[in-house]
């Protein structure tokens, strides 16, 4: 159903961005009775109706699912993204439309549409451990978070129950359990890997993926109009079953049912408007993406959820007499401490002894080798931990030809088993890893371009070296041969876990946001996407953004009731 048109200019709340975190802000605000306007720069994408490739078979796609050279040549940057192809490219931006300036190489991967990157995300949803919130300060590589695991845990549960997360209860301190639906099974070689690794290393665990998939929907999911994941593994085309979580299938339609939601697509937020008299943000300045008309919308509270770097850009561009360097930026911290996940290393090996076994069905999740580094104390020559994603696959028989009967026979014969692994490593928050506005260059809406100045450091290099050595040894322990480990040297950003820029903290002198994600010096503005992150941890981040968003909305509404906002 199309969303309500924005007729009014005044709302109780405005949410900027309709992706993973914005969708959650909209749902929670609308459920609590606030008339909420979601401003989204991209086009509308309606669940099911706007998934044009969702049910196409390879031979129904123009290039049978291969990405044509023209698409790559025209989009050399975005086409590097995981899952980008002719069947999914309509959910990614086009390079030419959205330039930015890379002072250091940084692949900024974006999906500008209603639903944002929730349509194309990988769906890994592990909780942070208790340890990850305190490690940076304890081990001397960053600042403490202003919140603890215990404060966040009930909100994790709140989110998990609604979005549906499958996983096993593994009782591990390094990756706490949540409210899980049944996990997807290991295949026989994954089971073997899990047992071999744990046999050799008592503190290492390969467990089933924790993924935002409805392996067995509950009533709350059926009420959203979603159904069981059919393990089609075509998720990034949009799932007509609602088998995985996206804003489009879940939070936005849920918010719409309250009657309190208005979504305005094609609305590029240029800045927040600071009211010097009231000493708060009174509204939002928008440029209509199509007409270039400048519009203003006002509200009592503003949730900034345009994704980490865009939210930072909007705040930097929100200048006023009170805040000449960007909203809330009294301390010069805005735009600094930009972080990412270190995804550079991967490994593969082949394993014998399972030739008489096969796997049944597909698995949209991956196994997780839980972080075992620097837990509570530093036990390596680097700081931070790493999560490893892994899985076992069976290759197809190798055909000698590319057409004909022999080819068909060869590919229908199973080949050898293999195991892959890749890392997701924590990176250190650093002031010099920053973004800022370009002095002169502007985009097609007259908004300054973002300059990215973000790079790796020596800690990352040491972590990569350790990961490669450990991956080799663990594959060896599983009896693999032909083991290879590699460093792809990819630029930061391609991990698509960009974080920081407006970090949370206890001290207004060193952070932008307080423990409720409010801008310290302008508390009716909440930033609850990746921009708020104080450190990166080693878990996939998006479920934490959803969790912090729900927690912040609850606080905002309490404050509104108390009339302190």
Ligand X SMILES: Cc1cc2nc3c(=O)[nH]c(=O)nc-3n(C[C@H](O)[C@H](O)[C@H](O)COP(=O)(O)OP(=O)(O)OC[C@H]3O[C@@H](n4cnc5c(N)ncnc54)[C@H](O)[C@@H]3O)c2cc1C
- Is residue 87 part of the contact set for ligand X (CB under 6 A)? no
Burial of 376 (0-12, 13-18, 19+ CB in 10 A): middle
Residues 468-507 binding ligand X (CB under 6 A) are 496-497
| Cβ 215 vs Cβ 181: under 8 Å | yes
Does residue number 390 form part of the binding site for ligand X (CB under 6 A)? no
- DSSP-based three-state secondary structure for 306: coil
The nearest distance, CB 209 to ligand X, in angstroms, is: 10
Which one of the spans 18-26, 63-71, 517-525, 552-560 is the region binding ligand X (CB under 6 A)? 18-26
Q: Stretches 107-115, 170-178, 338-346, 376-384: which one binds ligand X (CB under 6 A)?
A: 107-115
Instruction: Check binding of 307 to ligand X (CB under 6 A).
Output: yes
Q: What's the min distance (Å) between Cβ of 242 and ligand X?
A: 17
Decide: is 256 part of the binding site for ligand X (CB under 6 A).
no
How far apart, in whole angstroms, are the C-alpha atoms of residue 505 and residue 138? 15
Binds ligand X (CB under 6 A): choice among 529, 533, 535, 550: 529
- Is there binding between residue 109 and ligand X (CB under 6 A)? yes
**Minimal distance, residue 130 CB to ligand X, in Å:** 19
The bridge status of strand 345-351 relative to strand 414-425 is antiparallel
Distances in Å between the Cα of 69 and the Cα atoms of 42, 74, 75, 316 are 26, 9, 10, 37
| Stretch binding ligand X (CB under 6 A), from 16-24, 50-58, 452-460, 480-488 | 16-24
Rounded to a whole number of angstroms, the minimum distance from the CB of residue 176 to ligand X is 16
Question: What is the sign of the dihedral through the CA atoms of 309, 310, 316 and 321?
Answer: negative
Report the residue number, 267 or 329, with the smaller CB distance to ligand X.
Answer: 267
Beta carbon of residue 301, minimum distance to ligand X (angstroms, whole number): 17
**Per this entry, what is the length of the chain?**
565
Q: Work out whether 123 is an interface residue with ligand X (CB under 6 A).
A: yes
User: Are 442 and 361 a contacting pair, CB within 8 Å?
Assistant: no
Nearer to ligand X, 125 or 329 (CB): 125
Q: Which helix (H) or strand (E) holds 407?
A: helix 404-411
Q: Is residue 117 part of the contact set for ligand X (CB under 6 A)?
A: yes
Which tokens is 127 given?
């909780």
CB of 185 to ligand X, least distance (A): 20
Q: Does residue number 18 form part of the binding site for ligand X (CB under 6 A)?
A: yes
User: Which among 207, 205, 208 is positioned nearest to 474, based on CA atoms?
Assistant: 205
Structure tokens at 206: 């390969």
Pick the closest to residue 443 from 307, 281, 314 (CA basis): 314
Computed over its alpha carbons, how large is the radius of gyration of the chain?
Answer: 23
The least distance separating ligand X from the CB of residue 44, rounded to whole angstroms, comes to 11
Q: Which helix (H) or strand (E) holds 419?
A: strand 414-425
How many Cα atoms are found within 13 Å in the side-chain-facing hemisphere of 461? 4
Residues 57-86: x/- map of binding to ligand X (CB under 6 A)?
------------------------xxx---
Single residue of 100, 112, 133, 145 touching ligand X by CB under 6 A: 112
Q: Are 87 and 65 in contact (CB under 8 A)?
A: yes
Rounded Cα–Cα distance for residues 471 and 349 (Å): 10
Residue 164 engages ligand X in binding (rule: CB under 6 A): no
Instruction: Name the residue with tokens 């980490």.
Output: 308
Q: Is 39 in the site for ligand X (CB under 6 A)?
A: yes
Q: How many residues bind ligand X (CB under 6 A)?
A: 42
Beta carbon of residue 236, minimum distance to ligand X (angstroms, whole number): 7
Does 248 bind ligand X (CB under 6 A)? Our answer is no
Contact status, residue 374 vs residue 474, Cβ threshold 8 Å: no
Residue numbers at the binding site for ligand X (CB under 6 A) = 16-22, 39-42, 81-83, 109, 111-113, 116-118, 120-124, 267-269, 305-307, 310, 314, 496-497, 529-530, 540-542, 545
């Amino acid at each position: 159903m199309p969303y309500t048109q924005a007729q009014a200019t005044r709302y109780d709340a405005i949410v900027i961005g309709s992706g993973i975190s914005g969708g959650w802000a909209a749902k929670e605000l609308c459920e609590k009775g606030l008339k909420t306007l979601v401003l989204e720069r991209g086009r509308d994408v309606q669940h099911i109706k706007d998934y044009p490739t969702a049910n196409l078979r390879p031979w129904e796609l123009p290039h049978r699912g291969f990405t044509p050279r023209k698409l790559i040549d025209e989009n050399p940057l975005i086409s590097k993204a995981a899952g980008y192809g002719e069947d999914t490219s309509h959910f990614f931006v086009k390079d030419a439309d959205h330039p930015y300036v890379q002072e250091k190489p940084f692949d900024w991967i974006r999906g500008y549409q209603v639903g944002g990157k929730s349509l194309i995300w990988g769906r890994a949803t592990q909780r942070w451990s208790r340890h990850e919130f305190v490690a940076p300060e304890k081990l001397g590589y960053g600042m403490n978070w202003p919140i603890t695991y215990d404060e966040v845990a009930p909100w994790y549960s709140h989110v998990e129950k609604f979005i549906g997360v499958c996983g096993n209860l593994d009782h591990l301190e390094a990756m706490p359990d949540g409210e899980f639906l049944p996990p997807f099974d290991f295949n026989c070689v994954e089971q073997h890997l899990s047992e071999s690794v744990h046999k050799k290393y008592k503190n290492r665990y390969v467990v089933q993926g924790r993924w935002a998939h409805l392996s067995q929907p509950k009533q709350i999911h059926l009420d959203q109009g979603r159904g069981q994941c059919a393990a089609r593994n075509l998720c990034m085309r949009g799932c007509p079953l609602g088998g995985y979580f996206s804003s489009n299938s879940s939070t936005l339609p849920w918010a719409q049912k309250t009657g309190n939601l208005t979504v305005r697509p094609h609305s590029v937020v240029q800045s927040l408007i600071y009211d010097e008299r009231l000493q708060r943000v009174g509204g939002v300045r928008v440029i209509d993406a199509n007409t270039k008309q400048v519009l203003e919308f006002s509200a009592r509270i503003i949730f900034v959820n345009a994704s980490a770097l865009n939210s930072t850009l909007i705040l930097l561009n929100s200048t006023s007499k009170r805040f000449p360097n960007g909203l809330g930026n009294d301390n010069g911290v805005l735009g600094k401490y930009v972080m990412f996940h270190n995804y550079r290393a991967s490994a593969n090996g082949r394993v014998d002894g399972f030739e008489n076994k096969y796997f049944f069905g597909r698995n949209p999740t991956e196994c997780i080798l839980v972080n075992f580094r620097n837990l509570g104390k530093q036990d390596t020559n680097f700081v931070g931990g790493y999560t490893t994603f892994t899985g076992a696959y069976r290759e197809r028989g190798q055909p000698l030809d590319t057409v004909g009967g022999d080819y068909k026979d060869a590919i229908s014969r199973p080949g050898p088993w293999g195991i892959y692994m890749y890392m997701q490593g924590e990176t250190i928050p650093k002031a010099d890893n920053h973004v800022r506005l370009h002095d002169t260059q502007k985009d097609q809406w007259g908004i300054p371009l973002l300059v990215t100045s973000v790079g790796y450091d020596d800690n990352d290099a040491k972590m990569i070296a350790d990961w490669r050595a450990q991956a080799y040894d663990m594959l060896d322990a599983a009896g693999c041969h032909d083991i290879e480990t590699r460093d792809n040297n990819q630029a930061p950003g391609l991990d698509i876990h960009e974080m920081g820029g407006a970090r949370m903290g206890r001290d207004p002198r060193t952070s932008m946001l307080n423990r409720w994600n409010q801008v310290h010096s302008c508390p009716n503005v909440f930033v609850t996407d990746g921009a708020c992150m104080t450190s990166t941890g080693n878990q996939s981040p998006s479920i934490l953004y959803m969790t912090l968003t729900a927690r912040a909305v609850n606080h905002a509404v309490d404050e509104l009731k108390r009339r302190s906002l």
